[in-house]
A = this chain, B = another copy of it.
């Protein structure tokens, strides 16, 4: 009993898991919560200085109006309702793929559980896709685990990697700024987050000297065993050079670190001179000294790229050089969750095994895919162009991924005002922006940033004409904001 005679809850803030209490996930944090409230107020007819809330907080292409790729959805619909296989509505190549996938499902139904790492033929298709991508370096379907989006796979690997107490707790090196799944996962598992800072002055490049600094400092209070890399970068949009990747691999090799490569934006590279290389490819091209030793996992997803199928929650990871005994443990661990959602597996398969030249859907598939990617490239450039004209905003080029992460100067008086209200200064900016313009972006503090610097992350996903308006409104608001607090 509590002192007031009321019963205490069994589960309270005091008694709950403290590690869960600690975790934060800014992409769906307070700014989004307020955006959802504002949408509701608009629906109820409350007057606002804007007519629409624009959720530029999350890489959610379809929500921003991108249309699904026809062929992907045709195969999905056929798999869900195979009666359609006898209808002339669908092209033969879509039917052929649906039949092949259904034949691999228990009872020919996507409603059956699949093998826990995913349907075997899909894992084979993923392996072949990786081999094509990496210029023929072999990929083994047994090393591929399908997942419920990339987040699920990232958490699964972190779970395996985390151990120890006190000073022998596992340290996980993550970039700053980072995608907050990593900090949240590390908090949830009570591991130690080891920050290494990307170099904003050099297009958010990763610098191995900084890795070394971070590692050296961390060794005093934890056991760093994992190095996470996000390439192309989220939220930073940088694309790593091949040279940089070689340095990272060399470093992981020297320092005995397990490499986690988040490569979910591998299809989203826009800048001239930038090119995606997979860590696996670079590792194998560095020769057997490295390729037989460095333990690596790479993550991919159907939520990004040209398809943007976030809602289907599909993805995969490929493990390289994993200890076979540990791999058995991994297989056991994924079996508890039974299997990844089958519609997401199906859609992943079609992405991995798209229409081929000569097939009925080839032309339209390529046309739709290219349209999305060239549109994104245009928007990446537009974003940088507009931000670069605003005094006080400093934006690196969006070489890849789906975000701009500009640095903003926040006047000292605004910083004080924010602190008085209990907000981080960039959170204060983002909330004010939202209230006045309806534009929802995420404060840099949710991703991590160097002390005293402020940023926000904004997606480049709105339609190009709307994006232009959003960028202008945002820039105008920023000018007004800085003036007000100067």
> In the docked arrangement, what's the CA distance between A256 and B312, Å?
40
Question: Is there a chain B Cβ closer than 8 Å to A309's Cβ?
Answer: yes
A25 B335 Cβ-Cβ under 8 A = yes
Which residue of chain B is the closest to A15 with respect to CB atoms?
B163
Q: Are A148 and B335 in contact (CB under 8 A)?
A: no
Name the segment of A66-74, A406-414, A428-436, A478-486 touching the other chain.
A66-74
Given contacts A293-B7, A333-B20, A340-B313, contact A58 B152 (CB under 8 A): no
Give chain A interface residues in 97-138, CB to chain B under 8 Å: 105-107, 109-116
User: A323 at interface (Cβ–Cβ under 8 A)?
Assistant: yes
B-contact bits for A243-287, CB 8 A (1 contact / 0 none): 000000000000011100000000000000000000000000000
- Which size bracket describes the interface of A in this complex? 35 or more
1/0 per position for A314-327, CB-CB distance to B under 8 A? 00000001110110
A311 contacts B87, C-beta separation under 8 Å: no
| B-side contacts of A114, CB under 8 Å | 311
Chain B residues closer than 8 Å to A89, beta-carbon distance: 84, 87
**Chain B contacts of A113 at CB under 8 A?**
58, 60, 63, 310-311
Chain B residue at minimal CB-CB distance from A158: B17
**Which residues, 153 to 186 on A, are CB-close (under 8 Å) to B?**
159-163, 180-181, 184-185
- A240: B residues at CB distance < 8 A: none
The verdict on A25 contacting B336 (CB below 8 Å), with A11-B258, A159-B20, A343-B80 known, is yes
What is the bound-complex CA distance between A159 and B325, given in angstroms? 27
| B329, A21: Cβ atoms closer than 8 Å | yes
Cβ-defined contact, A63 with B15, below 8 A: no
Q: Which residues of B contact A29 (CB under 8 A)?
A: 335
Within 8 A of B (CB), among A6-59: 7, 9-13, 15-18, 20-21, 23-25, 27-29, 36, 55, 58
Are B9 and A295 in contact (CB-based, < 8 A)?
Answer: yes
CB distance A341 to B325 under 8 Å?
no
